[in-house]
Amino acid sequence: MTLEDLVRLRRARDTMDRDYAKPLDVPALARVAVMSPGHFSRSFRAAFGETPYSYLMTRRIERAKALLRRGDLSVTEVCFAVGCTSLGSFSSRFTELVGESPSSYRARRHDEGAAIPACVAKIFTRPVRNGEAKPADRPVS
């Protein structure tokens, strides 16, 4: 993979980070990276260790966790606010990544992390897939 490819992949990843609530799909992201959809998907996975869809859903679930901690939106409102179009798929993915349903996450107290700076909290609250290293095991970069 060339340095130019990495720059273009990073541009697509930045688009997902910024526009996670918009309807994004592989063809649209491939256009941002100036690659064919197939080449983009393979290259993204090789560069970042996960598929574009998986990365995007992790961003959406991270944002959903923040909105649910506030407690002023329903789970359905949060689902649509982060760009998901199916409450069932959102709930399933949230439960898979977080280990509890969005409703139970929203219902429990979140005071213990209130004093932690957001930049540190983000590292430890990032959803972790099965088989991934836990935050304490991840190398700091």
Give per-residue pLDDT as tens, 22-38: 999 999 999 999 999 99
In the predicted structure, residue 58 carries a pLDDT above the cut 60 = yes
Q: What number is the average pLDDT over the span 81-93?
A: 95
| Half-sphere exposure for 137 (CA within 13 Å, toward CB) | 5
**Res 133: pLDDT:** 47
Using the predicted structure, report yes or no on whether residue 141 has a pLDDT greater than 50: no
Residue range 103-127: mean pLDDT, rounded: 72
One-letter amino acid of 81: A
The rounded distance, in Å, linking the Cα atoms of 106 and 129 is: 20
Residue 86 has pLDDT above 80, yes or no: yes
- The residues near 47 (Cβ < 8 Å, ≥ 6 apart) are 1, 5, 6, 9
